[in-house]
Chain A
Amino acid sequence: MSAGAALEFRVAIREAIVEEMERDESVVFFGEDIAAEQGGVFAVTPGIQERFGTERVFDTPISELAITGAAFGAAVTGLRPIIEIMFGDFMGLAMDSLINQSAKYWYLSREQRSVPLVVRSAVGGGGRFGAIHSQTHATWFQGVPGLKIAFPSSPAEAKGLLKAAIRDDNPVIFLEHKRLYSVKAQAPAPGEVLPLGQARVARPGRDLTIVSAGKGVPDALEAAGELARDDRIEAEVIDLRTLRPLDIDTVLASVARTNRMLAVEEGPATGGWAAGLLGIVAEHGLHDLDDVWLLSTDELPIPYSPTLEDAFIPGAAAIASAVRERAGVVAGR
């Protein structure tokens, strides 16, 4: 794939896995249905087992605790596992291993061994999958020192961040928003590896800063385009890329320019990353702030019915109207 050509998000993920498995033979890949002909329920990984063989790529039983625990054990004894926990919602079954084993090992062992491990999952609502196949589990893990959490927003970002996650010597929770899988956009430069822990300015603007991650970034960009066209509001959009480590410096630098910040999270405000970000921005950037608020979901499970689910998720239209309402402008004026 050459730079400039369109790349589908799911293919970007596949390419990152294939390229890193080519590069390092200690990388292995396993999970439920990942080696099956279709390549997982979202058809992300077909053909990888054929390419690298059954020792390095294999299907597992439906046993999230065993998959995650075994990945930890393998990671501290010489392999670099990539595992797939099919839906992020299933991470509840894998939590002991990630929180009590993988996350703490580097510290507890006094740096005897690191834990090079990537845990990929499909996350997010909008697919009519209902309350327990639509959640975003990032915040369940965000308060755990020792874990990194990556949440890419585009095909190029997905490829570069996943390559970085596989090369990283720490456990990385990697979130793939299911409504991004079929997105096609510009491919990254060949071999590009993005840093973990460094946010990016996805769109420059002077009037306010909109911060998001994952699917929230294209939604914020769409809203920013609409606000610029219809309301002459120039929003700067920050793509956090990783929720841990959180790149607070990039956010504060933007807020110093715009003096206003909106954080958009597809999840409840209580205990969410957006609320945490607001706290940190208030702590370190209060003198720059004229306004700061967040757009999140209701404090309810994610509903199934299309009308309910569409109203529940803060998409581009909700972001644009939240900005207009806050700025006291009427749409299109």
Chain B
Amino acid sequence: MTVDEQIVTEAPAAYLERYGLMLLIRLFETEMQRLFLKGEVHGTTHLSAGQEAVPVGVCSALAPDDYLAGTYRGHGHALAKGTHPDALLAEMLGRVTGVCGGRAGSMNVIDAEHGLVGCFGIVGGSIAAATGAALAAKGQGRVAVAMFGDGATNHGYFHECLNFAQVLALPVVFVCENNFYGEFTPMLKVTAGGDIAGRAAAYGIPASVVDGNDLWAVREAAVEAVARARSGGGPTLLECQTYRHHGHSKADPAKYRPPEEVERWLARDPLGVAKARLAELGVSEQELSEVEETTRARMEQAVQSALAAAYPDPAGETATEFAP
């Protein structure tokens, strides 16, 4: 069976579950927004609402022990890879039950148990982390994935690591979430050539442009890329075109984006796209509402448990500078 046939013949129930995961990410970001305004989320945070289909589609192609390196816009990356929403939200609130005990915060989440090598607070850092994880993964039958934004493709990390990974034929998939803005600046204004996928050709790496708001399209591209990596075929670059519903960070109202552009993308909300497709596939309204209800309850539980958790006690802190 070819990759395409696998995607097409897969039972709708699997996609319904993935829709539930996308919704979980959306609800998580909505809660982050609310809790930030209430002063429960500290410093800053970078929301990924609008981009949910990319991590969910990509992670659906991975085994639980494959590796993922995410970014500072990484809540969706972590949830898609399997991080428990309770532990992730508690980390955002700086609580002791957080996945990193409140030491890491929104931009630097690490969850080794679920193969999340880390979320990296500096643009491009995830690309090298996944390239290195692929060095280890090669001998473990695993695959590593780097998530990064369009801004990272102008970074040394991107160019050095694509070359490095291809020369060594590493089992890595480079996934660019192209949301068309690097912080406040339009991608096309600062990206020579304007063609992110096209940059892979210079390194002899196969690449494709993917509709990043279509779960099915992302999954199809990811399944093929992961299969190539796992079978020794080396790296792939996927440019998943998507859009963030919010600004770059909490300090950014995103007034630099033309309203008609925002409208156009909101009309293609990945959750709406998935819902319509599921209906076409014969998933009933009732099945959809059941998943939505379960997901809402799960998120509500995460909020309650995170808010109930204690802050770390500096007096009880057991940190050591070095591993023994």
Contact = CB atoms under 8 A, between A and B. Distances in A.
Tell me whether A and B are bound partners. Answer: yes
Interface residues of B toward A: which range? Answer: 35 or more
A55 B138 CA distance: 10
Contacts of A93: 156
A129 interface: no
Given A73-B130, A79-B135, A60 B100 contact: no
Nearest to B166: A61
A229 to B, nearest CB: 42
B323 A69 contact: no
A109 B104 contact: yes
B206 interface: no
Contacts, number: 140
Nearest to B99: A110
Interface string A126-145: 00000000000000000001
Interface string A50-87: 00000100101101011111111111111101000000
A113 B112 contact: yes
A69 B170 CA distance: 14
Contacts of B23: none
B79 interface: no
Contacts of B67: 77
B121 A100 contact: yes
A104 B125 CA distance: 13
A110 B102 CA distance: 9
Interface string A98-137: 0011001111111111110000000000000000000000
Contacts of A109: 100, 104, 110, 112, 118
A1 B237 CA distance: 49
Contacts of B117: 73, 76-77
Nearest to A63: B160
A55 B140 CA distance: 13
A112 B100 CA distance: 8
B157 A76 contact: no
A146 interface: yes
Interface string B197-213: 00000000000000000
Contacts of A81: 132, 135
Contacts of A111: 323
Given A66-B161, A79-B135, A110 B100 contact: yes
Contact of A108 (B103, B131, B138, B163): B103
Given A61-B164, A66-B161, A107-B319, A76 B131 contact: no
A69 B122 contact: no
A69 B112 contact: no
Contacts of A96: 122, 125
B134 interface: yes
Given A65-B156, A112-B113, A73 B104 contact: no
A169 interface: yes
A169 B323 contact: yes
B104 A70 contact: no
B11 interface: no
Q: Which of A28, A69, A73, A170 has the most CB of B within 10 A?
A: A73
16 contacts: A55-B138, A60-B167, A67-B164, A70-B131, A74-B133, A76-B132, A77-B137, A101-B125, A107-B319, A107-B321, A108-B104, A108-B110, A109-B118, A112-B111, A114-B323, A169-B323
Interface of B: 67, 69, 100-101, 103-104, 108, 110-113, 117-118, 120-122, 125, 127-140, 144, 156-157, 160-161, 163-164, 167-168, 319, 321-324
Given A63-B160, A65-B160, 19 more contacts: A65-B128, A66-B160, A69-B129, A69-B161, A72-B128, A73-B117, A73-B130, A73-B133, A74-B132, A77-B132, A100-B120, A100-B125, A101-B128, A104-B108, A107-B319, A108-B110, A114-B323, A146-B321, A169-B323
In the A-B complex, list the 8 residue pairs whose CB atoms are closest, starting with the nearest: A73-B132, A69-B128, A114-B323, A66-B160, A70-B132, A63-B160, A77-B136, A109-B110
